Amino acid sequence: MKIYNTLTRKKEEFVPLKEGKVSMYVCGPTVYNLIHIGNARPMIVFDTVRRYLEHKGYDVNFVSNFTDVDDKIIKKAMEEGVTADEISKRYIAECKKDMKGMNVRPATTHPLATQEIDGMIEMIAALLAKGYAYTAKDGTVYFRTRKFKEYGKLSHKNLDDLQAGSRSLLVSGEDQKEDPLDFVLWKPKKEGEPYWKSPWCDGRPGWHIECSVMSKKYLGDEIDIHAGGEDLIFPHHENEIAQSECCNGKTFARYWMHNGFLNIDNRKMSKSLGNFFTVREISEKYDLQVLRFFMLSAHYRSPLNFSAELMEASKNGLERIVNAVENLKFLSGRAQTAELTAQEKEELATLGAYEEKFDEAMDDDFNTADAISAIFELVKYANTNGNETSSKAYLDALREKIMELSDILGLIVEKKEEMLDAEIEKLIEERQEARKAKDFSRADEIRNILLEKGILLKDTREGVKWERA
Ligand code: AMP
Ligand code: ZN
């Protein structure tokens, strides 16, 4: 299996540090708003990488943080007159709902920056002790960038070019730096901001240190894969490498993976440019499986332009698979014979070729576009060969193979079972009973069960009404 490594700019054979195991860290979102579909790209892409690694038999320890302390979160909190904690908790919960809709599995661990401050203070202290950091008069701690001789190795930038570029970027307060290239590890609090005590000043950590610390704590000093969007290569990932390698004396991550941008009119979709759609907005128009299919229809490193036409094409593409699965299920329910015929047995033996094609595509730096083509070929085969005269075992085997390959990409291709009216009525009755008995948690639970199945309840004077969303 080959992975394109940003560090070497080559596709390299993947060899994990420990046989059969993969440690993987993906930089997660800053939680101050609903996530946009640009943020969804790394989520879907690296969830697919994880699923494929598991399909290959690896035990994957997948860590992805939420940045829950940041200027943007604090600003939003001030605007709303609530605490930063309230903002981050709210948007973590919303983000998890979107992830569920996109069938992005929860990470093995989702650490929160605010819960890891002790580790950050420890790493900063270690960097100070080794001379890789220094404290300015106001208590700000900076990383001494030039002391790390390999700085720039990930982004392939030259220190002197960087120096020329960064001189003009100095902002007020940064004149305490020894060198314009130095970056913040810890900064003093400002009035009204959340802060933590530290040996240097009351304040909060810089953004880069959080990932170095969480990666070390949950995955160890040296990990297999570190990933994120390509805008993170510089400075975020470059700085993470500097901090971690200077502190731990080991290679931080062996493979660096970066997804390309999701663009709109060929410009990066971002909150600051205001040219974004939230995942929630898309979910009003499409099943989020369509969004997932759209993201996987391009190679993860290529730029991907968002458009209504491409979303429609993705909807049709996904439907082709879903319809084939539905049709096979329908035929299977009416099949005249149960057992495979000798010829069907022979035919099923040839299905391995589709799986091989799928694996070959995915082994080549996760070429999901070609993997989807392999699924389409299998669908075509199933549509041509599965019919009223086929045995149940044959039809089921075809359906299972399509579902198995789709599942590796995290695509749900089975129509959701609709809840029967009688089942809904029964649950509503039970909810009324629970409310009468003042068991409100059970009543809420029932409302949520129904909501998940797309059933909306309305309490009216005439009783409870319900409708399908
Ligand atoms: P942020 O919340 O801005 O730190 O972003 C969270 C993740 O989303 C990072 O891995 C970013 O690189 C990624 N990201 C943000 N915008 C885009 C975009 N337009 N296309 C692809 N990835 C993006
Ligand atoms: Zn990070």
* Co-location of 443 and 322 in the same domain: no
> Does 296 map to a domain?
no
Name the helix (H) or strand (E) containing 311.
Answer: helix 308-334
Paired strand residues for 5: 10
Nearest to 233 by CA among 143, 156, 133, 132: 156
pLDDT confidence of residue 166: 64
> Does 293 map to a domain?
no
* Co-location of 15 and 153 in the same domain: yes
195 CA to middle of ligand 2, Å?
21
Would the CB of 206 count as within 6 Å of ligand 1?
no
Tokens of 326: 């539905």
* Co-location of 167 and 88 in the same domain: yes
Would the CB of 39 count as within 6 Å of ligand 1?
yes
**Residue closest by Cα to atom 12 of ligand 1:** 229
**Does 59 or 265 have the greater pLDDT score?**
59
3-state secondary structure of 376: helix
3-state secondary structure of 145: helix
Would the CB of 262 count as within 6 Å of ligand 1?
yes
**Which atom of ligand 1 is closest in space to residue 229's alpha carbon?**
12
pLDDT confidence of residue 161: 80
**Which atom of ligand 1 is closest in space to residue 39's alpha carbon?**
8
**Which atom of ligand 1 is closest in space to residue 231's alpha carbon?**
12
* Co-location of 385 and 247 in the same domain: no
> Does 64 map to a domain?
yes
* Co-location of 400 and 435 in the same domain: no
Domain count of the fold of the chain: 3
The residue out of 259, 279, 297 marking a domain boundary is 259
- Full DSSP string of 71-97: HHHHHHHHHHTS-HHHHHHHHHHHHHH
Ligand nearest to the CA of residue 226, numbered in listed order: 2
> Does 197 map to a domain?
yes
* Co-location of 255 and 183 in the same domain: yes
Does residue 460 have a pLDDT over 90? no
CA dihedral 65, 207, 210, 136 (to 10 degrees): -170
Confidence band, pLDDT 50/70/90 cuts, at residue 366 = very high
331 CA to middle of ligand 1, Å?
44
> Does 359 map to a domain?
yes
Q: E strands, 238-294, where?
A: 253-259, 262-264, 267-268
* Co-location of 7 and 133 in the same domain: yes
The residue out of 197, 232, 259 marking a domain boundary is 259
Ligand nearest to the CA of residue 209, numbered in listed order: 2
Would the CB of 269 count as within 6 Å of ligand 1?
yes
* Co-location of 98 and 168 in the same domain: yes
* Co-location of 436 and 402 in the same domain: no
Global confidence as pTM: 0.90
pLDDT confidence of residue 174: 66
Would the CB of 42 count as within 6 Å of ligand 1?
yes
**Mean pLDDT over the full length of the chain:** 95
Paired strand residues for 22: 60
* Co-location of 321 and 212 in the same domain: no
pLDDT confidence of residue 172: 55
Does residue 164 have a pLDDT over 90? no
- CA pair distance 310, 238, nearest whole angstrom: 34
Would the CB of 261 count as within 6 Å of ligand 1?
yes
> Does 139 map to a domain?
yes
**Mean pLDDT, residues 268-295 taken together:** 95
124 CA to middle of ligand 1, Å?
26
Ligand nearest to the CA of residue 239, numbered in listed order: 2
The residue out of 408, 431, 458 marking a domain boundary is 408
Would the CB of 41 count as within 6 Å of ligand 1?
yes
**Mean pLDDT, residues 303-315 taken together:** 96
pLDDT confidence of residue 171: 56
Would the CB of 268 count as within 6 Å of ligand 1?
yes
18 CB burial (10 A radius; 0-12, 13-18, 19+): exposed
pLDDT confidence of residue 91: 98
Q: Is 410 left (phi over 0), alpha (psi -120 to 50) or beta?
A: left
114 CA to middle of ligand 1, Å?
21
pLDDT confidence of residue 416: 73
**Residue closest by Cα to atom 17 of ligand 1:** 38
> Does 225 map to a domain?
yes
> Does 295 map to a domain?
no
Mutate to test the pocket of ligand 1, among 35, 39, 104 (most ligand atoms within 8 A of CB): 39
Range of the domain at 436: 421-468
pLDDT confidence of residue 265: 85
393 CA to middle of ligand 2, Å?
48
* Co-location of 107 and 196 in the same domain: yes
205 Cα distance to chain centroid? 24
pLDDT confidence of residue 167: 58
pLDDT confidence of residue 298: 97
* Co-location of 140 and 170 in the same domain: yes
Ligand nearest to the CA of residue 65, numbered in listed order: 2
Would the CB of 231 count as within 6 Å of ligand 1?
yes
CATH number at residue 113: 3.40.50.620
27 CA to middle of ligand 1, Å?
9
CATH number at residue 368: 1.20.120.640
387 Cα distance to chain centroid? 39
On the CB side of 261, CA atoms within 13 Å amount to 13
Could you report the per-residue pLDDT of 399-437, keeping only the tens digit for each?
A: 999 999 999 999 999 987 777 788 888 999 999 999 999
Does residue 108 have a pLDDT over 80? yes
